[in-house]
Each structure stands twice: as C-alpha cells, then as structure tokens.
Amino acid sequence: MILDRKKYWQFLEDELKAETEEFKKKYLTTAISLLQDKDEMFVAQFVKFKDGEMIMKFPVTRALPRKGEFLVCMVLPPLLQSYRNWGNRTYRDLYKERSSSTECVCIWTQPSDDKRIALVGFSNVSLDFANFIKEYPGLILTFGPQHPPIDYVMNLQRLVEQKNWPSISSVLDSDYIRKEWEPNLIKQDYVSDFVYNQLCLSDTMILEGPPGTGKTYMIAELCARLCAEGKSVLVTALTNRALMEIAEKLAVKEMLEDGKIFKTNITLDEQKECKSLESIKNISPMPSCLVLSTFYIASGFAADLSIDQPFDYVIMDEASQALLPMFAASRKMGKKNLWVGDTKQLTPIVTLNDDIITYNNYKPIVDGLYLLAENSSSPVYQLTTTRRFSQRSADYTGFFYSGTLIANNLPKPNDIPSLSSILSPDGGPTLIFTDMPSGNKTPEFATMLAAYIVGCILHDNAKKDIAVLTCMRKTTKAIQKAITQTVGAHKNVLIDTVARVQGLTTDITIFFVPDYSYIRTLEPHLFNVATSRAREHTIIIADKYVLDFSTIDKNVRRYLETLKKEKSIYVPDPDHGLGKTTSTLDYQRSIGEHFVLKITK
C-alpha cells in the first residue's frame, strides 16, 4: 500500500476545511447564545496575577471553564464588558471589538468566601496581555473558544509538497503492509541505557510506553547522556505540558542550571515554574544542548529547513498523537529518531468524522505510529514495569497489553473510609451500575451519583487529586455543574473529556459512561486512557445493562465482565432512569443508603 502525496495533501486539506468550518459555526453564533445556552463563552472579573497565574472571579450560576480548556481571553470596550449589552452580536463581532487578547488555559478552580463566586486560575497568558491588564483589578474580561491549530496542518501540507527529500520520502513514499505485530518486551531496570544502545545500531527506534512506565523519566535520562556527549537534541511533543515535565526531571537538573535547556514560546507561568529554562525564538541545533518544542512549532521549522537533518537526535514524545506527515518532519530534522508513544491509547484528534476517514482511506495517515510500527525494519520495543499502579490495577490495564504489565508500586492504605465498602484494599477499579435513560448524555441521577462520590472523597481527604472523565463535552458540562453546585469548585478536582487527558496522573479517577453510543463512549483507546490515570482507585459509573450490547470491544468487555464479578455494586435510581420526580436531597439520601454512610455538610 503506497499512499501518494496527493492523498496526504487532500487529507490535510479536508482536515483544514473541517477545522475552519467547525470554528466558523461558533464564530458566527450570537455571543449571548454561546454564553447562556452552550457554555462556550464566559464573563469573569480579573482579580490579580500570582506566581504567573491569572486569577479570575466566576459566578457559579453558570458553568465554569473546564480545567485544561484552552480559551481566548479578551478585553472589550467598557459598554460590551456587560453581556447584557451584547444584543445580537456574534463572537466574531466581539472579537473585532477587543482592545487586547491572549490565549490561555484554565488550570484550577476553587471556592471563594462568597458561595456565589468561584475563583479560577489561568496559565499560558502572554506577557503583553498581562502587562496590559495587571493595573486594573476588577476589570471584566470575556472568554471565548480557541482558534483551531490551522498553522500545524498547513506546515504538514508544505512538507508533503517537498518531493526531493530522501528523509521525507522514507516515511511518505514507503510501501506499507497492514499486518499483526507484537512488541519486544523490555524488562531491565536501566531502560535509557538499552534505548541508547539500540539507537547506536539503528537510525530510528519505536518505543511503546504503556501507562505509568516512566517514559518521561527515560527520555530525560537519555537527553542528559546524549548532551553530555556533545550531541544536539530536539524533543518535540503535542503539548507544552509534556515538554515541561521533561525539563523538570532530576536527570537534566544540571543541564537546566547550566543554561543548556531551551524552549520555544515560554509563557509567564512556565518562566515562574522553571526559572533557569532558556527561551528560544527559533529552533536551532546547538551542541550539548536540549531544545524543547511542540509539534505545531517544530513542523514549521521542518517545513522551512533548507538542509537535511540538522539535529543529531530528534525525540518525539506523545508520538501516538502525531499524524503520519509529522514523522516525516521528525526524519527531516534529525539524523537519529526515537519515537515514544502508545498505540493502545489515543490517536491524533482530528475534526474529520470517522465516515469520511474510512471512505477516503485516511486511517493510516491518522494512525501514523501504528502504521510505522507494523512496518518497522528494526524491532519495536515495549516498556513493561509500571510505577503508577498496584498490581491489581496493572492486571486490569494489562488486558490491553496482553497481560505484560508488572507493577512496581504497593497499594496505599484506604484513607477514604466513606467508600471502604466499595473500594478494593488492593487499589484499582470498581464498577458502579445504576439506571440511565437510553440515549441521554446527561442522566440526572447518575450525575448526582458522581457528584456525591466526589463529595465523599473530599470529605474524607480534601487533598486527594480527583479526575472525573467522560467522552462527551455535554456530559462533562453537566457533571461539572452538579459537582460545583453540590460540593463547590476545588483546585484538585479535574472534570474533562478523556480525549484531553492523556499523560494525566491522578489519585482517583471517576469514569462516567452514559447509555449513549457505546461504540463511542466505550471506544477501547479512550477506555484504556480513562481507566489508567489513577494511582489508587478508578470508579466506573455505567448503566446496569451496559454489557448487554454486542458492539463493545472485546478487551473492554473482558475488563468490565471481570470487574462485574470481582468488584461491583448496583445503586438504583429511585425514578428508574425515567426522569426527575425526586428532589436532589432525596437523591442524595438514596445514594447514601446504598453506600451506608453520612456526609457532614
């Protein structure tokens, strides 16, 4: 199977159009509708900057931004700072009226002394914007949806058009064969030494890293060794967070202090977090130095290159989330390549729907790491020792990895007595069945059940890091409202879609599965990500008939059927999922009876 350059270019063109069209719908929607009906715009009051974070006051009567949600923050003219004066203006109309703006990301929420108000912190705020507003505490700011990353797609298009580069051709013009494959298992302790030796034998290595197996730690160790030998190294990843985690590892501390680690697009909070990190405007190879840059920026550097392979080594982290042309960019940038990812977890997020991808045979382009692993001329290796889980957790996650995971972590004592009746003393997953209306993305009783469980955890241990995950934004927003209104906003509670949290580690995960399109909500890659985030416990909330559906993936089914027999509980909805006739207080009382507990308010 040879995918010609026209196919690559057309895929990227179709993706570009889809991204533009989807954003255009929001851009031309009335701003008041995005604020009041769709929870995609927000109005809040600026408080101050602290430790590089922008702190805002939000009313709890409307949905709050989700942690990890990227937004555009704008200063509007005084008249338009009140949403009551927006009239029929669209998001585009308001954007044109802005006097200053920045992209930013929500990083925490917490309650304030006033129960009507929640405090929300944002990072990634530009220095220019910060300087513009810092003298105006109390200023009303408006937040809207982030613009799509069209530059990334356009950079990859430019690479696809470059036909006379052997490095690019080695990825884009190969004859690919779809076949079954199994990775070679790495069971030794010093993984970075093993990877170093393999890269001495081959120009490219693919490394599978299941959850919690120390991928970032290994990359940092390898970078330190290569740079000590005078090599130039570029590490590129989908997210800035993945790059910062490498910069913060102990293995590169001396390099950091010596000013030998550089990063593109350093933000105000990254500068506060890692003071010795050097800023670099344009990517450039430097002997004995490490450069960190996202796919979005590195793809532009690769497209502009007039010389082949200027870096000695290019390491792609989060490689399972890279489109196939990004691997061509990696080859063009580096003489030797290490691609680190997990083909059992999330593939790249694209706007094109699955039907178009299937009809046009775009799947190999989207799922690039898997295609390259199938056709690798050298062995593909997999890490096996996980430091995140107890062995019980590793055994369940191991359903997706042929039972190859070995835990190097003991289960922690159960410090959540309210839930002792349902949580395993050995850590790992618990399955809670309830009644959910079929086709309803926001089942009210189940949503209250999730909020109640969060309240139990916080009541017993207010410092626990909790992630509440779903597969759909509408479900996420409903759960966020329920949690905010019953237990308040908390810095250590993340409520988000599964697609946005690969790489996350938390203490406890609640995975909420509504009775809606199980092909989507129990998709195996998403399910694996959702159920492998927690160090201690994963609580899955699903409809009592979920296993009756034949469309569930075999590994997901095996996971759920095993868990149903071993550790599950049924919490019935007093209304049997038929609609709300019961008060919130009665819901809580009913839930409490099944958990045999009381929560002191």
Residues 268-300 pLDDT 10s: 778 777 889 999 989 999 999 999 999 999 999
Mean pLDDT of 443-464: 93
State residue 597's pLDDT score: 43
Long-range CB contacts for residues 300-308, cutoff 8 Å, separation at least 24: 300/151, 300/155, 301/333, 302/155, 302/159, 302/329, 302/330, 302/332, 302/333, 303/155, 303/156, 303/158, 303/159, 303/162, 303/329, 305/332, 305/333, 308/165, 308/166, 308/167, 308/332
Mean pLDDT on 364-380: 93
What's the average model confidence in pLDDT over 420-444?
94
Predicted pLDDT at 543: 96
Q: What percent of the chain has pLDDT over 90?
A: 72
Q: In this predicted structure, what is the pLDDT of residue 587?
A: 57
pLDDT band at 120 (very low <50, low <70, confident <90, very high): very high
Distance CA 257, CA 478 (A): 45
Task: Specify the pLDDT at position 504.
Answer: 86
Separation of CA 7 from chain center: 28
Cβ atoms of 142 and 71 closer than 8 Å: no
Check pLDDT > 70 for residue 586: no
Mean pLDDT of the chain, nearest integer: 91
| CB proximity list for 307: less than 8 A, separation 6 or greater | none
Using CA atoms, how far apart are residues 102 and 108, in angstroms rounded to an integer?
Answer: 18
SS3 2: strand
Structure-token pair, residue 470: 């779903």
Its pTM stands at 0.86
Confidence check: pLDDT of 22 > 60: yes
Confidence of residue 44 (pLDDT cuts 50, 70, 90): very high
| Segment 154-170, tens digit of pLDDT | 999 999 999 999 999 99
What pLDDT does residue 576 have? 65
pLDDT for the residue numbered 272? 76
pLDDT (mean) for 89-115: 91
* Tally of CA atoms within 13 A in the half-sphere of 588 that contains its CB: 17
Q: What is the pLDDT of residues 185-237, one digit of tens each?
A: 998 778 999 999 999 999 999 999 999 999 999 999 999 999 999 999 999 99
**Residue type present at position 334:** G
490-548 per-position pLDDT tens digit:
889 989 899 888 788 999 999 999 999 998 899 999 999 999 999 999 999 999 999 99
* Calpha distance 508→454 (Å, rounded): 10
Pairing assessment for the beta strands 466-470 and 506-513 based on DSSP bridges: parallel
C-alpha to C-alpha distance for 422 and 510, rounded to whole angstroms: 13
Q: What is the pLDDT of residue 266?
A: 83
- pLDDT of 599 > 60? The answer is no
What integer pLDDT is reported at residue 598 of this predicted model?
Answer: 37
Would you state the pLDDT for residue 579? Answer: 53
Least confident residue range of 86-90, 251-255, 447-451, 590-594: 590-594
Q: What is the mean pLDDT of residues 28-36?
A: 95
Q: Above 90 in pLDDT, residue 124? A: no
Q: At what angle do helices 215-228 and 191-201 cross, to 10 degrees?
A: 60
Say how many Å lie between the first and final Cα of the chain, rounded: 63
Residue 591: predicted pLDDT? 67
Please report the pLDDT score of residue 588 as a whole number.
63
Q: What is the mean pLDDT of residues 393-401?
A: 96
